[in-house]
Amino acid sequence: MTTDTTTQNTPDATTPGAPVLDARGVTMRFGGLTAVRNVDLTVGSGEIVGLIGPNGAGKTTFFNCLTGLYIPTEGEVRYQGDILPPKSFKVTAAGIARTFQNIRLFANMTVLENVLVGRHTRTKEGLWSALLRGPGFHKAEAASRARGMELLEFVGLTDKADHLARNLPYGEQRKLEIARALASEPGLLLLDEPTAGMNPQETRATEELVFAIRDKGIAVLVIEHDMRFIFNLCDRVAVLVQGEKLVEGDPATVQGDERVVAAYLGEPFENAPGAAEVAEVEAAEAHADATTDAAPGKENDR
């Protein structure tokens, strides 16, 4: 994969629908195992896109390829037209933030301190300023704390700012992870199973939170196993099966696609028919039905 940060003549990423994320031909191999194979995916500005698929389908691996944790074996990923740098902190600085499937908070730091950690890519005060604690440092620190409190208010954790992260209930820890990700002021937020382990009320609140994030102009790509959550939330859904993108479309199209149901029930992907083959089989069946119906003496067979 190319790792230079080069600028392409792409549409203005602030235009509604302009690609914020453009992943092309992403393949990730671990030795003999191809976890992600030739996946294309775009996320437009103002969009919420869902990534679903059975366990082991390659969703998290694909996320890791988007965030610099893995360098794809093949393919390239562009954020606002620029090829992503190969280090996760540079990807965050470029404008992509993420949460993790397994919550990764600093358990013994306060809620506010966790958010402030998320701001480090956006603070310009250097080491000397921090050590000398000059006026520039204090000003920057006050601004960071103010922004941190704003984000806690946004996710509904204002009154927990001074609590230790480890003392928060599970649902609030997930909210804090989102606040920390937002602290890097991203243009694209990647959420890996944000409702895992939540009760229905918490899931509903998370749905509202993701809409509010989108309304702030941040594009969202979300992995989730909760189908109701995904189909309520997303403008577009892509389905990964055995590392390959099987189907992509609006929620109604994806929900109604028999291949998606089959994939979740465990039918092997290699044998899954393509759309053209399905159409051909359906046409042949319709023709056979018409012929049978027309045959004398067959009316009462069904």
What residue ranges bind ligand ATP (CB under 6 A)?
30, 33, 35, 53, 55-61, 101
Q: Which residues contact 296 (CB under 8 A, 6 or more apart)?
A: none
DSSP 241-270: ETTEEEEEE-HHHHHT-HHHHHHHHT--GG
Parallel/antiparallel/unpaired status of strands 48-52 and 236-241? parallel
- CB nearer to ligand ATP: give 172 or 226: 226
Three-class DSSP category at 48: strand
Question: Least CB distance from residue 60 to ligand ATP, whole Å?
Answer: 3
Distance CA 23, CA 77 (A): 4
Taking a C-beta distance cutoff of 8 angstroms, is the pair 217, 45 a contact?
yes
| Beta-sheet pairing, 244-249 with 236-241 | antiparallel
Alpha carbons 50 and 235: distance in angstroms, whole number: 8
Complex with ligand ATP: residue 22 or 192, whichever CB lies closer: 192
Q: Toward ligand ATP, which CB reaches closer, 59 or 147? A: 59
Of the candidates 50, 48, 92, the residue with the CA atom closest to the CA atom of residue 69: 92
* Minimum gap (Å) between residue 185 Cβ and ligand ATP: 27
Tell me how far, at minimum, the Cβ of 226 lies from ligand ATP, in Å.
Answer: 12
Least distance to ligand ATP, CB of residue 43, Å: 18
* The three-state (H, E, C) secondary structure of 125-189, written as one string: CCHHHHHHCCHHHHHHHHHHHHHHHHHHHHHCCHHHCCCEHHHCCHHHHHHHHHHHHHCCCCCEE
Please say which residue, 11 or 268, places its beta carbon nearer to ligand ATP.
268
In angstroms, give the least distance from the CB of 165 to ligand ATP.
Answer: 23
Residue 56 or 217 having the CB closest to ligand ATP? 56
Is the CB of 30 or the CB of 89 nearer to ligand ATP? 30
Nearest distance, CB of residue 233 and ligand ATP, angstroms: 17
